């Protein structure tokens, strides 16, 4: 019996994707966390407890640009936060997504937003995300710093959003084809996740905390 | 107040129970159907072409349907057709427009149409049926049909 | 049945008036979303012509499709179809049996060779050299191949004959095939459904009988007039889907309020049929209106696709109906362990490099 695309996307393909995701994420987290921190030969400026707490504080303070730089990078940061919030709303407050997550994890579903509201949020999020690429392409500095990882990650994430919108709007093909393509794009994202910049989801807080702690030890808390 | 003070409104060929004026105007869907009916009536007068509008194929809400019914109103004639169930053909207040409901033997609605015609074609007897009926009648009477008649009667 | 009598003559013999027949044809064309004036034209056309010969073959099936076609519980306007067509062979209905019935079929096929309409329900098993389904000592496959030779068109009625249906589902022990898997050189129209709606069967048949043309078909060879829209697109509960109001169980408040059944496995979005508009039992109701999600019975492989009581957006993991937490936890545990091994090895290699660098 040949399997149809939808059954493949949410069956074997999803299994492989989740498998690669877990293997890759744990690999990268441990591969980074178990590395030795370069030994500091200078005298610690404060106690261990203090510089750990300052490190934790730094995750908050470094989550928004320093006042001196707000004018230059504030808009970009705000753009980033906006589309992240939009993504979380769409992923966690849309009926079929909640059905997927709760079915997979065996947990009780939570209340969701009307589908029309989610569509509106998704359209705004996709527009902001397009703005992110525009910013990256039009800024000389950003262009200089950008590599394959940046562009490919943007492409895969945008693919998930666009295929989701097309499925929701029943646009362009039969529903089961659109849903299969959407789930396959999510599978692709899960497979790419551990190997690209999406790992910032796991790195971002620890790295800010670590930077803050190291600097606090040196007596330069920010 | 005297009798002559009461306002009188005359409508051409006024049927009984003419469509009342509705405050606030008609919904967009109903307006479109009425426009189609008007065009159908014009074709009927110019070329004699009848037309049928399938009401069940149109996206009408119950409110739209009621609005259409009120807009078309009620005419003078109601015809009942008993053939494989009861069908009702009601003339509306708009001359030449008939609201037709076809039902099967169990009373289920099988079709609901607006017939744009002088008389709904289904009511008319079919010419070949008339020929056969005349022949049968002649046979019953034991007489022959006149020469040149398409009907063949008994000798 | 005298297949040489015109349809009009047959109708009169059965007490059906011309007007009654116009009503029947009008109901049929409006059900197919064709212009309503075609009803009178169809009635006029059909009345004059001879009754087309129809041979109905039933193979590996439950007789549900034939019951749907027959509507044997109550006579309705659809019964008129049997005055329009000349059902020259059907082993469920005909009084003759044994050799008499087989010779009736042979005679009908010979007399109307190249012109008869062949209706098939049930799948065709090819396992055990066709012994899984035999009649009169002949396998279903052999009978179908023979009958197809002289058919003008083949109507595969029901999901079993259109796509293989339940017999075709895993593990397909009888090696069942749909009609299109056995016959390749004749036009086939699939009227799928488990069973199909009676009006869909009669409408498709009538359209072919009147026009002599096969209607517009979709990619699964189903008439677009009936299978062109998904249930989801015509469902009266669609506003609840759009509003995000879903029933979670069959007896919760959402179910009692008639909310969308998507999370209870409704296959409406991926199923193409006329159930939401024509409905069943003369427009009485359809599964969703009765509170049960669509099973997708008019689609290929609907049985194997499973997920009858889980939303179509859910993962297909573990057994249907059971929580997927345990198999996911085991799988994730194994993946995490594998990742940990790689991570430790990777960190070890990194530390070695750090050590080498510091030594220099």
pLDDT in tens, B18-33: 344 443 455 667 888 9
CB neighbours of residue C97 within 10 Å: 10
pLDDT in tens, C283-294: 788 999 999 999
pLDDT in the model for residue B19:
41
Sequence length of chain C is 360
Contact A33 C347 (CB under 8 A): yes
Q: Check: CB of residue C182 under 8 Å from CB of residue C199.
A: no
Contact B52 C35 (CB under 8 A): yes
**Quick check: helix, strand or coil at residue C352?**
helix
Q: At what angle do helices A12-33 and A200-217 cross, to 10 degrees?
A: 10
Q: By mean pLDDT, which of B90-94, C166-170, C282-286 is the weakest?
A: C282-286
For the entire predicted model, the pTM comes to 0.77
* Chain C positions in Cβ-Cβ contact with residue B131 (cut-off 8 Å): none
Nearest-CA distance from C237 to chain B in Å? Answer: 15
C-interface mutation test, from A21, A96, A190, most C Cβ less than 10 A away: A96
Instruction: Give all chains having 3 or more CB-to-CB distances under 8 Å with chain A.
Output: C
Of residues C170, C324, C335, nearest to A22 (C-beta): C335
Contact B106 C17 (CB under 8 A): no
pLDDT in the model for residue B46:
94
Burial A74-83 (b: 16+ CB within 10 A, else e): eebeebeebb
Residue B11 predicted with pLDDT over 70: no
Nearest-CA distance from B26 to chain C in Å? Answer: 25
A222 belongs to a structural domain:
no
C-interface mutation test, from B52, B103, B121, B124, most C Cβ less than 10 A away: B52
Scanning the structure block, which residue is given the tokens 């409006």? C30
Closest CA to B135 of B116, B152, B118: B152
Hey, is the C-beta of B132 within 8 angstroms of any chain C C-beta?
no
pLDDT in the model for residue B5:
67
Angle CA C338–C339–C343, to nearest 5: 125
C231-305: CATH topology: Cytochrome-c3 Hydrogenase; Chain A, domain 2 (4.10.480)
Residue C196 predicted with pLDDT over 80: yes
Alpha helices, H only, B1-155: 28-47, 62-72, 127-141
Residues 6 or more apart whose Cβ sits within 8 Å of residue C189: C153, C154, C155, C156, C204, C208, C214, C215, C217, C221, C222, C223
Q: Check: CB of residue C312 under 8 Å from CB of residue C264.
A: no
A74 belongs to a structural domain:
yes
Scanning the structure block, which residue is given the tokens 């004749």? C186
The dihedral of CA B64, B66, B69, B71: what is its sign?
negative
Residue C227 predicted with pLDDT over 60: yes
Strand-pair partners of C89:
C55
Domain boundaries, chain B: 3-120, 125-155
pLDDT in tens, A171-220: 888 888 999 999 999 999 999 999 999 999 999 888 888 888 888 888 77
pLDDT in the model for residue C4:
65
Distance, CA of C10 to CA of C4 (rounded, Å):
10
Q: How confident is the model at residue C92 (pLDDT cuts 50, 70, 90)?
A: confident
Q: Is the ipTM of this complex over 0.90?
A: no
B3-120: CATH topology: Ribosomal Protein S8; Chain: A, domain 1 (3.30.1370)
User: Is residue A146 left, alpha or beta, with left meaning phi > 0 and alpha meaning psi from -120 to 50?
Assistant: beta
Which residue has better confidence, B142 or B57? B142
Farthest CA pair distance, chain B: 75
Looking at residue A158, which CATH number applies to its domain?
Answer: 1.20.950
Residue of A nearest to C232 (CA): A175
Domain boundaries, chain C: 51-226, 231-305
What Å distances lie between residue B86 and B105, C15, C82, C280, CA to CA?
7, 16, 21, 21
A 20-39: CB under 8 A from C: 21-36, 38
A183 belongs to a structural domain:
yes
The DSSP string of C205-236 is HHHHHHHSSPPPB-TTS-BHHHHSSBHHHH-T
Closest CA to A209 of A217, C326, C198, A194: A217
Q: Report the domain count for chain A.
A: 1
Sequence length of chain A is 222
Q: Which domain holds residue A82?
A: 5-217
**B51 burial level (CB within 10 Å; 0-12, 13-18, 19+):** buried
pLDDT in tens, B31-53: 889 999 999 999 999 999 999 99
CB neighbours of residue C214 within 10 Å: 16
Distance, CA of A116 to CA of A119 (rounded, Å):
5
pLDDT in tens, C288-330: 999 999 999 999 999 988 778 888 888 777 666 566 677 788 8
Q: What class has domain C51-226?
A: alpha beta
A 83-122: CB under 8 A from C: 94-97, 99-100, 103-107, 109, 112-118
Nearest-CA distance from B64 to chain C in Å? Answer: 17
* Chain C positions in Cβ-Cβ contact with residue A176 (cut-off 8 Å): 269-270, 312
């Amino acid at each position: 019996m040949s399997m149809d695309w939808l059954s493949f996307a949410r069956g074997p393909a999803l299994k492989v994707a989740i498998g690669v995701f877990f293997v890759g994420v744990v690999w990268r987290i441990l591969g980074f966390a178990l590395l030795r921190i370069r030994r500091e030969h200078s005298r610690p400026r404060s106690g261990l407890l203090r510089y750990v707490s300052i490190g934790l504080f730094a995750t908050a303070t470094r989550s928004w640009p320093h006042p001196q730089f707000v004018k230059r990078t504030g808009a970009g940061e705000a753009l980033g936060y906006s589309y992240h919030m939009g993504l979380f709303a769409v992923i966690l407050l849309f009926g079929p997504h909640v059905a997927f997550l709760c079915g997979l994890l065996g947990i009780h579903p939570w209340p969701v937003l009307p589908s029309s509201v989610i569509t509106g949020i998704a359209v705004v999020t996709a527009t902001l995300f397009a703005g992110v690429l525009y910013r990256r392409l039009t800024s000389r500095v950003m262009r200089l710093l950008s590599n394959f990882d940046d562009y490919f990650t943007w492409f895969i994430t945008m693919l998930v959003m666009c295929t989701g919108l097309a499925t929701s709007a029943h646009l362009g093909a039969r529903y089961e084809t659109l849903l299969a393509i959407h789930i396959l794009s999510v599978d692709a994202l899960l497979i790419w996740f551990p190997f690209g910049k999406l790992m910032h989801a796991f790195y971002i807080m620890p790295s800010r905390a670590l930077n803050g702690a190291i600097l606090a030890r040196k007596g330069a808390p920010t | 107040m005297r009798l002559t003070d009461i306002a009188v409104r005359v409508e051409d060929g006024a049927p009984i129970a003419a469509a009342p004026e509705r405050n606030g105007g008609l919904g967009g869907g109903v307006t479109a159907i009425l426009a189609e009916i008007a065009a159908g009536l014009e074709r009927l007068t110019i070329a004699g072409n009848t037309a049928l509008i399938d009401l069940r194929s149109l996206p009408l809400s119950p409110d739209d349907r009621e609005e259409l019914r009120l807009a078309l109103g009620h005419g003078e004639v109601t015809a009942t057709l008993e053939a494989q169930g009861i069908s009702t053909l009601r003339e509306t207040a708009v001359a030449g427009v008939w609201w037709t409901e076809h039902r099967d033997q169990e009373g289920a609605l099988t079709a609901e149409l607006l017939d744009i015609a002088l008389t709904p074609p289904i009511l008319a007897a079919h010419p070949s049926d008339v020929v056969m009926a005349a022949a049968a009648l002649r046979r019953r009477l034991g007489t022959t049909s006149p020469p040149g008649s398409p009907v063949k009667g008994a000798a | 049945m005298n297949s040489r009598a015109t349809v009009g003559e047959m109708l009169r013999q059965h007490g059906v008036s011309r007007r009654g027949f116009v009503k029947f044809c009008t109901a049929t064309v409006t059900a197919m979303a064709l212009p309503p004036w075609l009803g009178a034209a169809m009635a006029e056309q059909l009345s004059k012509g001879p009754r087309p010969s129809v041979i109905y073959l039933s193979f590996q099936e439950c007789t549900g499709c034939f019951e749907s076609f027959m509507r044997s519980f109550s006579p309705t306007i659809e019964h008129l179809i049997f005055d329009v067509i000349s059902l020259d062979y059907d082993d469920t209905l005909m009084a003759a049996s044994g050799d008499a019935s087989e010779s009736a079929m042979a005679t009908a096929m010979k007399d109307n060779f190249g012109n008869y309409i062949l209706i098939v329900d049930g799948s065709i098993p090819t396992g055990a050299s066709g012994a899984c389904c035999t009649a009169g000592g002949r396998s279903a496959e052999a009978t179908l191949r023979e009958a197809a030779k002289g058919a003008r068109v083949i109507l595969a009625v029901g999901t079993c004959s259109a796509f293989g249906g339940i017999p075709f589902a895993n593990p397909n022990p009888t090696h069942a095939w749909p009609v299109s898997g056995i016959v390749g050189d004749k036009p086939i129209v699939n009227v799928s459904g488990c069973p199909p709606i009676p009006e869909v069967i009669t409408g498709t048949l009538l359209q072919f009988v009147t026009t002599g043309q096969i209607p517009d078909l979709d990619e699964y060879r189903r008439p677009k007039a009936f299978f062109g829209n998904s249930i989801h697109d015509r469902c009266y509960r669609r506003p609840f889907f759009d509003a995000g109001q879903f029933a979670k169980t069959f007896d919760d408040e959402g179910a009692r309020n008639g909310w969308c059944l998507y999370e209870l496995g409704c296959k409406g979005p991926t199923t193409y049929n006329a159930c939401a508009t024509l409905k069943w039992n003369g427009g009485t109701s359809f599964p969703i209106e009765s509170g049960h999600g669509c099973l997708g019975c008019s689609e290929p492989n609907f049985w194997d696709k499973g997920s009858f009581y889980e939303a179509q957006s859910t993962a297909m993991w573990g057994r249907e109906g059971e929580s997927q937490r345990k198999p996911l936890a085991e799988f994730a545990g194994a993946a995490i362990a594998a990742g940990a091994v790689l991570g430790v090895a990777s960190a070890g290699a990194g530390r070695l490099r750090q050590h080498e660098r510091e030594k220099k």
